[in-house]
Structure 1
Amino acid sequence: MWNYEKRLEYPINIKRTDAAMAKAIISQFGGPDGETGAAMRYLSQRFAMPYRPVMGVLTDVGIEASNRNLPG
């Protein structure tokens, strides 16, 4: 079901750095209202869920939210 290859889907060639753009991007991914924060909340809430089917839904939603953070 899972195939893990440690390689990027698209090659990345950084020609120059842009600190302002990096700050904006990281705030969307890792900020309090970013996608990574939402994914982590779903995944952490699953451990307090007493119902197995709902636990599975929280896991699936958290994984899907974290997959949206991947490039490509």
Structure 2
Amino acid sequence: MFIFEKRTQIPVVIKNRNPKLASYILSQYGGPDGELGAALRYLSQRFAQTDKRAIATLTDIGVSVQE
């Protein structure tokens, strides 16, 4: 059975809040120019390819962007 514990590996203490910086960081992950957008573009482009090496390369890039 899988048990999910929501905790960080290293305790984080936030002394000064900066909403503008937090908004920028979130846009880099989920915005149109962020990591998630890039990964989804690579993964969707693989379906238009006919060369198996190109498919494998796009899959590898799309998966490794999120790591």
Superposition TM-score, scaled by structure 1 size: 0.65
1:1-72 equivalences under 5 Å are 10-11=9-10, 19-67=19-67
Could you tell me which amino acid in structure 2 is paired with residue 44 of structure 1?
S
Larger relative contact order (CA 8 Å, sep ≥ 6): 1
Using the TM superposition, give the Cα deviation of residue 15 of structure 1 relative to its aligned residue in structure 2, in angstroms: 6.1
Q: CA RMSD in A?
A: 2.6
Q: Which runs of 5+ in 2 are unaligned?
A: none
Where do 4+ consecutive residues of structure 1 move more than 2 Å? 5-9, 11-22
Identical columns (%) = 40
SS of 2:9's equivalent in the other structure is coil
User: Between Structure 1 and Structure 2, how many residues are aligned?
Assistant: 63
Using the TM superposition, give the Cα deviation of residue 32 of structure 1 relative to its aligned residue in structure 2, in angstroms: 1.1
Say which one has the larger Rg: 2
Distance in 2 between residues matched to 1:12 and 1:44, nearest whole Å: 37
Using the TM superposition, give the Cα deviation of residue 59 of structure 1 relative to its aligned residue in structure 2, in angstroms: 0.1
SS of 1:63's equivalent in the other structure is helix
* Structure-2 change in CA distance of 1:14 and 1:44 (3 Å): farther
Could you tell me which amino acid in structure 2 is paired with residue 60 of structure 1?
D
Using the TM superposition, give the Cα deviation of residue 22 of structure 1 relative to its aligned residue in structure 2, in angstroms: 3.1
Using the TM superposition, give the Cα deviation of residue 13 of structure 1 relative to its aligned residue in structure 2, in angstroms: 5.2
